[in-house]
Amino acid sequence: MEDKRRCFSLSQNKFLQHWCVLFLSSLAILPLTQSFNYGKALSKSLLYFESQRSGRLPYNQRVTWRHHSGLTDGLEQGVDLVGGYYDAGDNVKFGLPMAFTITMLSWGVIEYGDEISSAGEYTHALEAIKWGTDYFIKAHTHPNVLWVEVGDGDTDHYCWQRPEDMTTSRQAYKVDEKNPGSEVAGETAAAMAAASIVFRKTNPHYSHLLLQHAEQLFEFGDKFRGKYDESVRVVKGYYPSVSGFKDELLWAALWLYKATDKEDYLRYALEKANEFGGITWAITEFSWDVKFPALQIIASMLLTEENHREMGFKLVFEQYRSKAEYYLCACLNKNNGSNVNRTPAGLLYIRQWNNMQYVTNAAFLLTVYSDYLRASNQRLRCDRGKVGPEEVLLFARSQADYILGANPMGMSYLVGYGSRYPQRMHHRGASIESYKENKGFIGCTQGYDYWYPRNDPNPNVVFGALVGGPDQMDRFSDDRKNFMQTEACTYNTASLVGVLAKLHGVEEEDGYLNTPLLASS
């Protein structure tokens, strides 16, 4: 371990660090491959969502240090908004990232349901999705009304309290015809459409209900266009819409097409591709805010289907594919122009705050596209040459392996996995004695005065939480106050679920991932 770290302390020069890592690797001091139990990591990832539940917890709740919370949410506004998820280490329910979480969980199950089943986690995956969609059904109280936030980030951040003890504001906020919110309406439509595909066989009635809500929400978001953070201004400091709402409308249309096979939705995504930026924006990040790369990938994968070639939009499909390839090649460092930065040890690096969300989103898209390339017998076309599906998946695996411990810190950034993981994640419920152990009220300032500044490990382990991760030099400080690195979010783990399921399945089947891998190449 000391030899690994010495590489990163000898010089601030990335080039020298890179070659130091290579040299140590050649001496077998830093192994280039490590063996990870992807099935076990998958199980822990799905367990995480139970730690984030709001509302009345079910009888089969496995995370027993949590208890009921937010049982009066929506009461002041005369609507039942009990349920859903807390987004991170706080106690606010933010609609946009919650919906994105459910979309990505659903996509993972759609692509890798068999692999999730083989790991014995299919029921848990569906429960994680349904906890979100049940809440969205409640929140969509009228065809043109969607409740998009419960709680206030400002007052919440003044308090350090378990969700079971909340004394902060639980005011609820909505978008409607006079106060539009096309991003959150579109993303919630996408989530419910994707989830409707998941439940089509196991619960057809529920699937149909989700689809009804999805179609209404898409129509609402499209007819009454506007940025949701202009209508719900309290969200601006937490989940502002930088990319606007056009990507969410294209994204929702494509998911509705996948769920319904109605050509009108596909035609929408093709006819508005230029106006809405679908074929003009070349983007190197995919997130809860920026959907362009993912919708470009979905559209490009439709190109090989015969019925789509007959629609007369071949050029638009090709333009979608060109932009999708730009993103994928940027992640693989194969563009002549802009590529995604990497840490010296090979982790994709977008920005300082919660970088792991971009890593897992990229790994998921690379994983899905590698399957598409394999199935269609194609190669990814990059400026620096064509890339086969195996190489694409190997790079996605390198990112998952880094997360699980193949990194200079020797740290698993997935809490509860491995022998060394963050002990002081920035999370109110985890850092305070559990309600199960102490049912006494713990106040707002009491939490900040006593529990927040403690150097001791958190009394409760949030299994499967993926923290923000290391900085651009692969350094990580396990400090509760270091929220940029130690806070975890639902959408970090949501995308990782599909990647872990795929890797688990591949290793079970034929083990072709055993090819030697150099993450820093």
Query: How far apart are the C-alpha atoms of 340 and 350, rounded to whole Å?
Result: 7
Q: Encoding tokens for residue 364?
A: 């998921």
Give the CA angle between residues 144, 145, 150 to the nearest 5°.
160
Q: What is the dihedral of CA 186, 180, 154, 67, to 10 degrees?
A: -50
Helices 246-260 and 292-301: crossing angle, nearest 10°?
30
Of 168, 174, 493, 173, nearest in space to 363 by CA: 493
The SS3 assignment for 481 reads coil
Q: Are 123 and 63 in contact (CB under 8 A)?
A: no
| The one catalytic residue among 124, 213, 426, 427 | 426
Q: Are 280 and 345 in contact (CB under 8 A)?
A: no
Query: How far apart are the C-alpha atoms of 495 and 503, rounded to whole Å?
Result: 13
How many residues would you count in the chain?
521
Clarify whether 142 is annotated catalytic: no
Of 241, 287, 359, 227, nearest in space to 104 by CA: 287
Query: How far apart are the C-alpha atoms of 148 and 226, rounded to whole Å?
Result: 14
Three-state SS string across 285-317, please? CCCCCCCHHHHHHHHHHCCCCHHHHCCCCHHHH
8-state DSSP, 401: H
Of 98, 75, 96, nearest in space to 86 by CA: 98
Q: Are 428 and 162 in contact (CB under 8 A)?
A: yes
Catalytic site positions: 426
